[in-house]
Amino acid sequence: MPPTPEWPVERSVWFSVRPLEIEHPKLEDLVAVQTFEGVVLDAGPEELRVRLHDVTDPSRPDEIATMDIEEVPEDDRALIEVGAVFDWLFFRQRRPSVRNVSELRFRRLPRWSQPDLDRARNRADEFRELFDLAADGTSAAP
């Protein structure tokens, strides 16, 4: 029986290091499963209360949900405020293995204020009158 070495044993080991290659999912590997449009109803330091509209099946009623702030990407957290709109997409990734993935992104377009909406309606009414159109876009002339 060979003698037991004294611990710790000092050894020199040489090895080469390769950078870790992370394979990002390809678009063809992702299948959209569900899409929601959300609106922030209330925002706290750790969670959000949101209204979710099912874009995949609009006949379904809207849902009110509470979600953890950790669901929101760090780049989007500055956009969180009451009334902010976001898209929440759910995918199934098929390679390298099947897994469910979600992506939540806040919209970066400014919200329309009530005066903006009123001006747009007034402008649309002016165009309808100019082109002699009914409210549904058909000709108002007999």
* Tens digits of residue pLDDT in 46-66: 999 999 999 999 899 999 999
* φ/ψ (deg, to 5) at 125: -60, -40
Average pLDDT of the residues in 15-42: 72
More confident residue, 138 or 24: 138
Q: What is the pLDDT of residue 45?
A: 92
Q: What is the mean pLDDT of the chain?
A: 80
Q: Is residue 90 part of a domain?
A: yes
Domain membership of residue 136 (yes or no) is no
pLDDT in tens, 89-101: 988 887 777 888 8
User: Residue 99 domain-assigned?
Assistant: yes
The total number of structural domains that make up the chain: 1
Q: Which amino acid is at 131?
A: F
Asked if the structure places residue 11 within a domain, the reply is no
Note down the domain range covering 89.
Answer: 27-110
Q: 102: helix, coil or strand?
A: strand
* Rounded Cα gap, residues 18 and 23, in angstroms: 15
Cis peptide before 8 (omega within 30 of 0): yes
Does residue 101 sit within a domain?
yes
Q: Does some domain include residue 38?
A: yes
- Evaluated on CA atoms 28, 31, 35, 40, the torsion sign reads negative
Q: Could you tell me which of 60, 63, 35 has the C-alpha nearest to residue 50?
A: 63
Burial code of 7-22, b = ≥16 C-beta within 10 A, e = fewer? Answer: eeeeeeeeeeeeeeee
The terminus-to-terminus CA distance of the chain in angstroms comes to 111
Cβ(21)–Cβ(33) below 8 Å: no
Domain of 91, CATH number, reads 2.40.50
Residue 5 resides in a domain: no
The answer as to whether 22 is a domain residue is no
